[in-house]
Amino acid sequence: MSGWVAVAGLGPGTDDLVTPEVRAALAQATDIVGYIPYVARVAPRAGLALHPSDNRVELDRARFALDLAAEGKRVVVVSSGDPGVFAMASALFEALEGREDAPEIRILPGITAMLAASARIGAPLGHDFCAINLSDNLKPWALIEKRLRLAAEADFAMAFYNPRSKARPEGFARVLEILREACGPDRLICFARAVSTPDEAVRTVTLAEARPEMADMRTVVILGNSATRRVGPWVYTPRSVP
Ligand code: SAH
């Protein structure tokens, strides 16, 4: 039987937000490959080999998945949220470049953190927006600052992934400074932590009130655009620009 690789998004946390397509792939799999906490979300069963690995080894992990598929295994590489958003799908294609053997590959979408968070908040991404990964593991910090300034100038709402890491605790404080300077103190900013898990906590403040400690690695941060406003407990961005 010929092997395959599916790169699957497990959604933001709860099983309710795992798609039936991803469930079916997990049920057919012989091997699960991924970052330790994501592999832990897959129920063990007879005939299923679990291969959890540490975070910063994405390319090795992708090569390993391709090797297993070449041996005839049915491999699911798991990501949280969506596998195409700051996750394993790109790593798999990077590992595929230059290889002679290409197994069947499928990318199975999942609900990414910013969309799960946005639904809890109201509709902060109802108009044009962008998503920025604030980790500088894979790109220079100067590029992050440049993108922040240009996105603010274009009046995009923004979703920030990986807002704060232990390796760079001062980075997010700097981000808030830049945003205050570019967007003013009254702009709304939403902190959505561990959405759809028992630890979920979501709150919205102004940029003047925002503190770096309001975010950690389990938080996705959503900044409104200049028209984003509150209605009752909700925060939304109007669809039109007058
Ligand atoms: N592929 C994932 C993102 C991986 S980067 C996705 O599509 O969601 C990891 C970052 O995602 C975290 O630092 C955090 O910013 C965000 N994130 C992942 N799960 C989350 C959740 N349940 N609640 C809030 N943010 C989350």
Residue 54 has pLDDT above 90, yes or no: no
What is the rounded average pLDDT of the residues 204-214?
A: 97
pLDDT-based confidence at residue 179 (cuts at 50, 70, 90): very high
Which of 111, 145, 176 marks a domain boundary? 111
Least confident piece of the model among 31-45, 51-65, 84-98, 99-113: 51-65
**Same domain assignment for residues 126 and 227:** yes
- 118 and 221: one domain? yes
The count of structural domains within the chain is 2
Structure tokens at 224: 């409104």
First to last CA, the chain: 59
Q: For the chain, what is the mean pLDDT?
A: 96
> Which of 77, 111, 145 is the last residue in one of the domains?
111
Among 15, 111, 138, 219, which is best to mutate for testing ligand 1, by the most ligand atoms less than 8 A from CB?
219
* Same domain as 128, residue 52: no
Of 60, 54, 134, 129, residue with least CA distance to 91: 60
The verdict on residue 242 lying in a domain is: no
pLDDT bracket for residue 84 (50, 70, 90): very high
Same domain, 74 and 157: no
**Any idea what the CATH number is for the domain that residue 21 is in?**
3.40.1010.10
Pairing of strands 49-53, 4-9: unpaired
Residue type, 4: W
Looking at residue 11, what is its pLDDT? 98
**CATH code for position 218:** 3.30.950.10
Q: What is the predicted pLDDT for the residue at 93?
A: 97
pLDDT bracket for residue 181 (50, 70, 90): very high
Reported as half-sphere exposure (CB side, CA atoms, 13 A), residue 235 has a value of 26
Rounded distance from Cα 99 to ligand 1 centre (Å): 30
- Stated pTM of the model: 0.96
Answer whether 135 contacts ligand 1 (Cβ < 6 A).
Answer: no
**pLDDT of 242 over the 90 cut:** no
The whole-number average pLDDT for the span 86-114 is 95
Confidence of residue 169 (pLDDT cuts 50, 70, 90): confident
DSSP class of residue 197 equals: S
Instruction: Determine the pLDDT at residue 56.
Output: 73
pLDDT for res 221: 98
Residue 1 has pLDDT above 80, yes or no: no
pLDDT-above-70 percentage for the chain: 99
Same domain, 102 and 10: yes
Q: Judge contact between 191 and 202, C-beta under 8 A.
A: yes
Distance, in Å, from the CA atom of 155 to the CA atom of 133, rounded to the nearest integer, reads: 18
Domain assignment of residue 200, given as a range: 114-236
CB neighbour list of residue 26: distance below 8 Å, 6 or more residues apart: 8, 32, 42, 76
Please tell me the predicted confidence (pLDDT) of residue 182: 98
Query: Could you count the other beta carbons within 10 Å of the beta carbon of residue 190?
Result: 26
- Pocket flag, ligand 1, residue 102 (CB < 6 Å): no
- Answer whether 161 contacts ligand 1 (Cβ < 6 A): yes
CA distance 140 to 2: 41
